[in-house]
């Protein structure tokens, strides 16, 4: 097998590969990549370079990991997972990503495809109207700076207290939609000015809102599916992929500058400027953690407001109420985050960048409704091919710091995708295939064509076979909103 | 001679990258600014109803270009605008210990019904970021997070 690296990559089993510390000066632990042979062979050189760079960071524990949807990223690869000793390890914005708490949310309904199909055009138009997307879009929630700071502290709970959601939503959000330790004092005015008008907006790039269908043939495991309120029978669900928007990006940019200087002070050198970091317990590390938690909570709030708008849109189109339509939240999970988590008798600072928490059955962090089945894991695919719902496993708790994949991962650049397919043609082709798309930007739409992504089924098969998450259902798109 | 720019294909698979060049430093700044403006929206579809003056000072040209491009991204979000053009004036202190940029930015509030909007650029990154000089020619490579 030819790989895009000169480093030695040892096979652990059919779905796990290891690069030993001897392959790069400074590696403190091995780097491990979850992949089938085919996926590993197609991985870009950046994955191998970057996951081994991560393995050099101070305080790293056991392994630097990369999931099968991995590809080149800033600092960490996308799909990167690493745990650090909170006492003498580092925290790195490059291990979280610019879009802090970019994540996925899935909402169920009692509606079926046959009920939605006749009103799909109306529904997508209503969703497109209520959930702003694209360059410079602004949300409907007007806030003072004081209120925005409360959003940073309270996350999704702030929204629910104001009627944008249901009280029971909170237990179905990672960390109940609010990370402790958010400190707005460490957020710059620039970040506040970028974010204060963006609550309830999707953004652009690979972010989307998608109406999907779960058919019987795509339901792989009925017990966890039933616990999540999924029965198959062409049931309609709604998926949201977005994060902390410009606010989170500004926090990341601000602290990359702070950390570049801090590294000199603490005598830390890194293999890549985008891995700028500081000791977690240092003033700079704690300031970033406080600001990052603000951005993470704002992202939870963003997805909560969008959920409110989705429920209102469905209620308007189907002349009903969200409760009568059975629009319960299935789950909301982050895939760009750093959190202190307990494994056994120790706490570790786990960075997930383009990787999803996947806690197994019995985890005390899970709500009662999911404790027996494991945490729901929502993995978004391309808008043409569909997405997956999985559950976390105890193997993930042992092997990957309770982590798994987050999506399908790109294989083609945005520029190449735009040269290969035109947005207008893609819109028509997808409509012919039963997927109605509403997009702000035709060039942005072309960039997200299915051909630009890995085959998500292959990626999901890898994590399923590796045992770090188990497949529950495949979700097929019928309507998509893009910025 | 005005500067030029081109988008780079394979540097950032999930994002965008461009290379700008000019036969002078002001030409380089003009070209890089134009690349970012055109990443956000087709400027031909953006009216000239919004204006802002920006003054910035940094210790070197690399930092000044990086911070200027990031300022454009900030203004796009904070004021919900896209840009038609920018007029730039660049000068250094006599000992070249500081570089100053004076910019007159012209554009319009975002309007999805009339503007050809493109990528919602979220940040300028340090990944492979470089400003280089060969003789009197200047070149910059910039990766944008989208």
Burial of residue A217, with CB atoms counted within 10 A of its CB: 0-12 exposed, 13-18 middle, 19 or more buried: exposed
Dist. CA A7–CA A29, nearest whole Å:
15
- What CATH number does the domain containing B40 carry? 3.55.10.10
Query: In whole angstroms, how far apart are CA A367 and each of A338, A344, A378, A470?
Result: 21, 19, 16, 19
A258: nearest Cα among A238, A278, A282: A278
A435, part of any domain: no
Report pLDDT for B39: 94
Q: In the predicted model, what is the mean pLDDT of residues A151-172? A: 98
Q: Using the beta-carbon criterion (under 8 Å), do A415 and B8 form an inter-chain contact?
A: yes
Q: In this complex, is the C-beta atom of A42 within 8 Å of any C-beta atom belonging to chain B?
A: no
Nearest Cα of chain A lies from the Cα of B118 at a distance, in angstroms, of: 6
Query: Considering chain A, what is the average pLDDT of its residues?
Result: 96
Q: In this complex, is the C-beta atom of B77 within 8 Å of any C-beta atom belonging to chain A?
A: yes
What DSSP string describes chain B?
Answer: ---EEEEESSS-TTSEEEEEEESSHHHHHHHHHHHHHHHHB-GGG--S-EEEEEEEEESSHHHHHHHHHHHHHHHHHHTTEEEEEEEEEEEE-TTSS-EEEEEEEEEEE--TTTS-B-----EEEEEEEEEEEETTEEEEEEEEE-
Please determine, for residue A268, whether its predicted confidence score (pLDDT) is greater than 80: yes
Percent of residues, chain A, with pLDDT higher than 70: 100
Q: How far from the centroid of its chain's Cα atoms is residue A471's Cα? A: 17
| Total domains present in chain A | 1
Residue range A341-350, pLDDT digits in tens: 999 999 999 9
A430, part of any domain: no
Q: How far from the centroid of its chain's Cα atoms is residue A99's Cα? A: 9
Q: Using the beta-carbon criterion (under 8 Å), do A73 and B14 form an inter-chain contact?
A: yes
Q: How confident is the model at residue A22 (pLDDT cuts 50, 70, 90)?
A: very high
**In the A/B pair of chains, how many CB contacts fall below 8 A?**
119
Contact in structure between A317 and A122 (CB atoms under 8 Å): yes
Q: In this complex, is the C-beta atom of B16 within 8 Å of any C-beta atom belonging to chain A?
A: yes
Residue range A69-126, pLDDT digits in tens: 999 998 999 999 999 999 999 999 999 999 999 999 999 999 999 999 999 999 999 9
Residues 46-85 of A with CB under 8 A from B: 71-74, 78
Query: Which tokens go with A414?
Result: 């945005």
Q: How confident is the model at residue A136 (pLDDT cuts 50, 70, 90)?
A: confident
Query: Which tokens go with A142?
Result: 């007007």
Nearest Cα of chain B lies from the Cα of A134 at a distance, in angstroms, of: 6
A483: nearest Cα among A428, A433, A440, A430: A440
Query: Which tokens go with A6?
Result: 């000169």
Report pLDDT for A413: 82
Q: How confident is the model at residue A435 (pLDDT cuts 50, 70, 90)?
A: very high
Domain hosting residue A25, numbered range: 10-411+453-482
Burial of residue A148, with CB atoms counted within 10 A of its CB: 0-12 exposed, 13-18 middle, 19 or more buried: buried
Nearest Cα of chain B lies from the Cα of A444 at a distance, in angstroms, of: 6
Dist. CA A114–CA A112, nearest whole Å:
5
Q: In this complex, is the C-beta atom of A445 within 8 Å of any C-beta atom belonging to chain B?
A: no
Residue range A384-423, pLDDT digits in tens: 889 999 999 999 999 999 999 999 888 888 888 888 999 9
Residue range B98-125, pLDDT digits in tens: 999 999 999 999 999 999 999 889 999 9
Report pLDDT for B13: 72
Please determine, for residue A478, whether its predicted confidence score (pLDDT) is greater than 90: yes
Residue range B18-77, pLDDT digits in tens: 999 999 999 999 999 999 999 999 999 999 999 999 999 999 999 999 999 999 999 999
Chain A residue whose CA is closest to B77: A194
Domain hosting residue B94, numbered range: 4-145
- What CATH number does the domain containing A273 carry? 3.90.1860.10
Q: In the predicted model, what is the mean pLDDT of residues B84-89? A: 98
Interface-testing mutation among B126, B128, B130, with chain A (most A C-beta atoms within 10 A): B126
Residue range A363-377, pLDDT digits in tens: 999 999 999 999 999
* ipTM of the complex, rounded to two decimals: 0.90
Q: Respond yes or no: is residue A241 known to be catalytic.
A: no
Please determine, for residue A313, whether its predicted confidence score (pLDDT) is greater than 80: yes
A155, part of any domain: yes
| Total domains present in chain B | 1
Please determine, for residue A437, whether its predicted confidence score (pLDDT) is greater than 90: yes
Burial of residue A393, with CB atoms counted within 10 A of its CB: 0-12 exposed, 13-18 middle, 19 or more buried: buried
Q: Using the beta-carbon criterion (under 8 Å), do A414 and B120 form an inter-chain contact?
A: no
């Amino acid at each position: 097998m030819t790989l895009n690296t000169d480093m030695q990559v040892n096979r652990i089993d059919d779905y796990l590969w290891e690069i030993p510390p001897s392959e790069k000066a400074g590696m403190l632990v091995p780097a491990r990549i979850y992949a089938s042979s085919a996926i590993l062979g197609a991985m870009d050189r950046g994955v191998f370079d970057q996951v081994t760079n991560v393995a050099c960071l101070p305080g790293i524990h056991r392994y630097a990991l990369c999931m099968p949807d991995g590809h080149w990223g800033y600092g960490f690869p996308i799909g990167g997972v690493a745990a650090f000793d909170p006492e003498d390890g580092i925290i790195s914005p490059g291990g979280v990503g610019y879009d802090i708490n970019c994540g996925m949310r899935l909402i169920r309904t009692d509606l079926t495809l046959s009920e939605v199909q006749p009103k799909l055009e109306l529904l997508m138009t209503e969703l497109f109207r209520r959930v702003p997307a694209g360059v410079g879009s602004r949300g409907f929630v007007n806030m003072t700076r004081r209120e925005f700071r409360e959003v940073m502290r309270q996350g999704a709970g702030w929204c629910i207290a104001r009627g944008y959601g249901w009280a029971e939503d909170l237990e179905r959000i990672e960390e109940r939609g609010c990370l402790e330790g958010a400190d707005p004092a460490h957020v710059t005015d620039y970040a506040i000015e970028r974010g204060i008008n963006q609550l309830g907006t999707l953004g652009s790039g690979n972010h989307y809102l998608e109406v999907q269908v779960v058919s019987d043939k795509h339901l792989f495991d009925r017990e966890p599916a039933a616990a999540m309120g999924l029965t198959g029978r062409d049931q309609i669900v709604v998926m949201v992929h977005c994060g902390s928007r410009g606010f989170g990006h500004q926090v990341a940019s601000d602290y990359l500058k702070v950390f570049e200087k801090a590294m000199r002070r603490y005598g830390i050198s890194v293999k890549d400027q985008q891995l700028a970091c500081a000791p977690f317990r240092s003033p700079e590390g704690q300031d970033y953690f406080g600001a990052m938690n603000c951005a993470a909570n704002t992202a939870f709030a963003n997805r909560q407001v969008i959920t409110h708008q989705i429920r209102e849109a469905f209620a308007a189109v189907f002349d009903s109420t969200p409760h009568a339509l059975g629009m319960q939240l299935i789950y909301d999970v982050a895939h760009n985050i750093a959190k202190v988590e307990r494994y056994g008798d120790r706490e570790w600072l786990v960075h997930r960048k383009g990787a999803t928490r996947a806690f197994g059955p019995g985890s005390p962090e899970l709500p009662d409704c999911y404790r027996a089945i494991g945490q729901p894991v929502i993995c978004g695919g391309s808008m043409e091919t569909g997405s997956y719902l999985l559950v976390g496993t105890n193997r993930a708790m042992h092997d990957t710091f309770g982590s798994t994949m987050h999506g399908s991962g790109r294989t083609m650049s945005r520029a190449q995708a735009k040269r290969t397919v035109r947005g207008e043609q893609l819109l028509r082709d997808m409509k012919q295939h039963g997927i109605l798309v509403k997009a702000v930007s035709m060039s942005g739409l072309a960039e997200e064509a299915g051909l630009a992504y890995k085959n998500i089924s292959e990626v999901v098969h890898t994590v399923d076979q590796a045992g770090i998450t188990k497949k529950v259902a495949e979700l097929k798109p019928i309507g998509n909103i893009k910025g | 001679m005005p500067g030029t720019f081109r988008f780079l294909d394979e540097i950032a698979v999930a994002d965008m990258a461009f290379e700008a060049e000019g036969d002078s430093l002001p030409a380089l700044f003009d070209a890089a600014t134009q690349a970012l403006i055109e990443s956000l929206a087709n400027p031909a579809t953006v009216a000239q109803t919004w204006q802002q003056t920006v003054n910035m000072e940094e210790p070197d040209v690399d930092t000044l270009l990086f911070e200027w491009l990031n300022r454009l991204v900030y203004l796009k979000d904070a004021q919900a605008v896209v840009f038609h053009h920018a007029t730039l004036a660049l000068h250094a202190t006599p000992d070249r210990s500081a570089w100053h940029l004076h910019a007159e930015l012209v554009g319009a509030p975002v309007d999805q019904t009339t503007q050809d909007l493109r990528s919602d650029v979220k940040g300028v990154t340090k990944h492979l970021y470089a400003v280089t000089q060969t003789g009197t020619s200047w070149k910059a490579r910039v990766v944008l997070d989208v």
